[in-house]
Amino acid sequence: ESHDWNVLFPLTSHASSPLSIPGGTRQSPINIQWRDSVYDPFLKPLKISYDPSTCLHIWNNGYSFLVEFDDSTDKSIIMGGPLENQYRLKQFHFHWGAINEWGSEHTVDSKFYPAELHLVHWNAVVYPTFEEAVMEGNGLAVIGVFLKLGKHHEGLQTLVDALPAIKHKFDVFDPSCLIPSCPDYWTYAGSLTTPPLTESVTWIIKKKPIEVDENQVSFAFRMLLFTSDGEEEKRMVDNFRPLQPLMDRTVRSSFQ
Ligand SMILES: Cc1cc(=S)c(O)co1
Ligand SMILES: [Zn+2]
């Protein structure tokens, strides 16, 4: 039983990967074992309504590139799905690898995708600020979308074109163009995958990936830098967290 292993040989426990918080019981990302996911007929369809004009700017935060949204109103929200309240879109960003063999944070049946999109939302019904929501169990909801290599993605190209400038001011961008129309998703209780790693995220992982072409991931994403101007260049790649133990959690699916 893995728990004994941890008790007997705590130093060799795989669960305490460098980036796991002590005593964490709902850490992310995880491997989604398709056959172990449980269909929940009471799960509602996810309702997504984004107002493209809430788009503010795109920037490199030294770990990924983010497109941030004006979250001072309820103009861009999600509701339904596994969620009790509506959640406001705050930003979206990606995680990707140095090569196409890996890059996503979540895996499906231990398969990595070359990249993963995260659309981060917070529970403004219950919490006054994003910062407070980050610390609460029902504070955040993140939609995860896998990227697989295939045909060119028009919507993504708008972002890719802005990357070289990165300070590029954005007028409008509707992130729903990055979300597959197939309504199927998995959902589980998890955490942020970057510090503070708080266990505040209801993860909603879309079953269907979106297709992007080789250049969109390789040229654009992998040319970004972790480093700032003047520093020795370090390409921004492999900005994903190692898999975390499922522990006492069930992944639910919205589909049979
Ligand atoms: C708030 C936030 C959420 C995720 S998923 C991330 O990678 C960074 O920051
Ligand atoms: Zn993320």
Is the ipTM higher than 0.85? The answer is: yes
Each residue of 5-34: pLDDT tens digit? 333 333 333 344 445 566 789 999 999 999
Strands (E), 4-132: 31-32, 38-39, 46-49, 55-60, 65-69, 77-80, 87-96, 107-108, 115-122
Each residue of 158-167: pLDDT tens digit? 888 888 877 5
Q: What is the pTM of this model?
A: 0.85
The whole-chain average pLDDT of the chain stands at 89
Distance 171 CA to ligand 2 centre (A): 23
Whose Cα sits closest to atom 4 in ligand 1?
192
Each residue of 56-67: pLDDT tens digit? 988 888 888 899
Look up tokens 């398709």; give the residue: 34
What is the rounded CA–CA span in Å between residue 204 and residue 227? 31
Rg (CA), the chain: 18
Site to substitute for ligand 1 among 142, 205, 244, most atoms within 8 A of C-beta = 142
Each residue of 176-235: pLDDT tens digit? 999 999 999 999 999 999 999 999 999 999 999 999 998 888 777 888 888 887 888 888
229 secondary structure, DSSP code: T
Each residue of 217-234: pLDDT tens digit? 877 788 888 888 788 888
